[in-house]
Amino acid sequence: MVDAAVRPSTTPDPRESATAPRIDVARLNDALMGTWGDVRRQAREMIKDSAFWRKDELGKDDHRERVLSQLHLLVDNKAVHRAFPKRFGGEENNGGNIAGFEELVAADPSLQIKSGVQWGLFGSAILQLGTKEHHDRWLPGVMDLSIPGAFAMTEIGHGSDVAAVGTTATYDPETEEFVIHTPFRGAVKEYLGNAALHGIAATVFAQLITNGVNHGVHCFYVPLRGEDGVDLPGIGREDDGLKGGLNGIDNGRLSFDQVRIPRTNLLNRYGDVAADGTYSSAIDSPGRRFFTMLGTLVQGRVSLDGAASWASALGLHIAITYATQRRQFDGADGQEVVLMDYGKHQRRLLPRLATTYAQIFAHDEFLQKFDGVFSGRTDTPDDREDLETLAAALKPLSTWHALDTLQEAREACGGAGFMFENRLVGLRADLDIYVTFEGDNNVLLQLVGKRLLTDYAKQFQGKDAAALARYAVGMTAGKVFHGAGLRQLGQAVTDFGQVARSVERGLREEQQHDLLAGRVQQMVADIATRLRAAGKDKALGARLFNENQAELIEAARAHGELLQWEAFTDAVHAMDDAETKKVMTWLRDLFGLQLIEKHLAWHLIHGRLSTQRAAAVSSYIDRLCARLRPYALDLVDAFGYEPEHVRAPIASGAEKQRQDEARAYYADLEASGQAPVLEKTLKRQKR
């Protein structure tokens, strides 16, 4: 936390005014910590121990061993057992498990992701895809780390397209074994945590073939090493070596040369093979079976959304704290100005702060949905589909935002931000991979776009030919959502002598929602109309889909932004402290209006905003930034990070001490009468 004494600024502190609202930082922190705030606080208290911190001076090999030792510390602290069954010492607390896991990003992202590999992927595959026999046999070892394992899904030739993996698992009824095989180089399992060194087993996704029939991708438990610590026959293992980040994780490749495993090593919750090779499944459709199996592993995307959001919060805590202490260039009063008082600096950091708040609030709603499904309280096919769509919509936005925010925060701190000790470059490097693992972001958004098209098409189910004809003739697709026609928001608002004031009154909550929702709806409707021309012509359909793919992904992104805006608004409505609520409404407005500003061209082209109103949006954003400037430190203090979590010298108060020392030096020099006269002062005196 930054003390009030560390708040140098030429902007008046709002707390010095009797009329200005004040933020209740503690209550705002409660809101941000969310449903599982108690678990988050437990995790943060645990990682105050320096044994969990990243040591920047370590090379790759030492970093890997340190992270492995940290995993054992997590076991000792019972920090990784929350999601597992109570009969094994777990808590069956799925939401709390993810919340605690996300907090590890502040200690070392390598620790977070390696623990995610062990317990969130490898262990979860056994838990979610296996049955009681598998749980009894392997989960205790997974939980206590006596069975470190890899999650072998991704292949060199197939990343996001899991259904097309090349690894095969062919059943041999003579021996009642599956033969796991890598038939070509592109089928090598790649980028796997725990694969290069530490893993002694893997959950391997392969095409299940029995009696000459391929039943699609299933998951198998495959031992990699014997008790002597030597790799078993047929196991090929390669080290990925140095990466762009996360070098505390031993990522590597696995290949299989006719590796035999018992029939019972098939994780058979959704599909089984009898001793004679007969395949059976309670889910008749191969496609639905595949997506059901993959859906059980959605927690990776859930946790990345939260971890990326909190990494953004940490970066902004560092950059904004520094910006309220670092001074540069003389101001009107003759004193150097703190960076945060410059309009451009506010524009760089405060909209990103607003977005981070939106993401954290959206993530808590997302996490509640996840916990409901995985606890069984709301586990229906529709709920699972909604959860998967939410994951695919939110994970891309938060991970992209983290990279953008950490980069901007680095630049906003100048050379100090480039120093590794100040965390920003290390966080940026480690989080780089978040945008492509657990699903490439663009591929995920395409899944969301397809879901939006499906939901749109449901409007026309059961309609007769005449009704569809009336739709097709003389109507724009947007009118399906907007009825009699499109409104130009803000046009009915009286101009109070100032366009910016009119925008403020005319683009409040209801109008922001109309603009954000209307954009999603019309984009989906327009794409659906263009795709409908293909009819049953598959070739034409594929061509039209490809032509509209970029716009579909943009519509999905807009949908995710709308979800975040709605979650932020829900959080504001739930606040019972009036003054905090007022400031948070400004921050929510900043988030909404910067989304509108980003897509002003679209809103103008489609008649949603007049030219005059559109031109005033940016100036109103500037006004919001200036209004929020005095609250910048309170807003980052509300994240709840303590010095042991931040560990960045430029956010420690050291910069303020340097600035105070410099100003005291010049003040004493001036008072002594020994201060040298500036040349330009002499020249002015001679005139």
Which residues are marked as active site? 438
Closest to 655 in 3D by CA, of 409, 332, 339, 335: 339
In the chain, the amino acid numbered 316 is L
Contact by Cβ (8 Å): 317, 652: no
3-class secondary structure, 176: coil
Give the CA dihedral 87, 93, 94, 98, nearest 10 degrees.
Answer: -120
DSSP string, 105-117: GGT-HHHHHHHII
How many other CB atoms sit within 10 Å of the CB of residue 241? Answer: 11
Contact by Cβ (8 Å): 214, 207: yes
Q: Structure tokens of 655?
A: 């910069």
Contact by Cβ (8 Å): 153, 205: yes
Distance CA 419, CA 647 (A): 13
Cβ partners under 8 Å of residue 7, min gap 6: 13, 324, 633
Question: Helix 343-375 and helix 25-33: axis angle, to 10°?
Answer: 50
> CA separation (Å) from 244 to 3, 278, 425, 527?
36, 46, 11, 38
Q: Structure tokens of 509?
A: 């909550």
Distance CA 38, CA 46 (A): 12
Q: Are strands 201-210 and 149-152 parallel, antiparallel or unpaired?
A: parallel
- Residue in this structure with the two tokens 């509640």, named with its chain if needed: 368
Q: Tell me the helix, strand and coil percentages in the chain, rounded to 5.
A: 60, 10, 30
In total, the chain counts a number of residues equal to 687
Contact by Cβ (8 Å): 302, 373: no
CB-based burial, 415-451: b 16+ in 10 Å, e otherwise: ebbeeeebbbbbbbbbbbbbbebbbebbebbbbbbeb
Give the CA dihedral 281, 286, 287, 291, nearest 10 degrees.
Answer: 30
Q: Are strands 168-172 and 201-210 parallel, antiparallel or unpaired?
A: parallel
Partners of 272 in the beta sheet?
280
Closest to 304 in 3D by CA, of 435, 195, 425: 435
Contact by Cβ (8 Å): 248, 114: yes
Contact by Cβ (8 Å): 554, 562: no
Distance CA 243, CA 193 (A): 12
Distance CA 315, CA 326 (A): 16
Distance CA 10, CA 629 (A): 11
DSSP string, 96-149: HHHHHHHGGGGT-HHHHHHHIIIIIIIHHHHHHHS-HHHHHHHHHHHHHTSS-E
In the chain, the amino acid numbered 91 is E
